[in-house]
Structure 1
């Protein structure tokens, strides 16, 4: 029987993405990171990869998708698509007629509505999660930290 001290902490569902590209003139690869606001409770002021919590709407959209991914995994990937658009204005994991001006408009629309599904409907885009390559899961079950994220 486990006691409160031995139980793994409940992880907050989250997702993050490492975005990189080849450097100009055959230079080294470049990796995208953002700086969190210093006012943020968790990791304020730190350089991080784009990402964040999986929202209830991400779980809903993941459950509606069908296809080869389990709904929970789909929700995590949807969250990283949404968070990347929201935080950086980059469109990843989506297909359709996408250009820089539509991406900028989609970012603003997402910030107003808060849900990726409405952005997809508005711009006529579709999820294309095959563009993403899951490679790790960070879930520090045995750490004594106040906030634990289950991050994919």
Structure 2
């Protein structure tokens, strides 16, 4: 898989300063030397852009099956919940959000809890772990 190519950095336009007469100008303090270690480099913007999570179809996860909520079972509620996972560079699930509801809050919550209790391995791109997102469907259906 190819790595994203950073966009070129637009040049910084210098603002023109108006000349002031010496009668109305106020003295300015000498400027402090610039500490380049604390000055953001031109690559800082690209680092942020490249660290955005990449969406993948099949994460390296061992997904825990959701427990069918007893109330939903009694009410014969069924449906599919689409959960959006955000997985960090260590493979930890940072966030699980309901992207598409089943229409039943108990099923939605059970799917989210199952996703958060699941375990993943880091996704590698060019041999390096990266943050990823993935949409996972959890299907609730009654057998029998």
Higher relative contact order (CA 8 A, sep 6+): 2
TM-score bucket of the superposed structures, by smaller chain: under 0.3
Name the structure with the higher helix share. Answer: 1
Q: Please, what TM-score do these two structures have when normalized by structure 2?
A: 0.25
Q: Please, what TM-score do these two structures have when normalized by structure 1?
A: 0.24
Name the structure with the higher strand share. Answer: 2
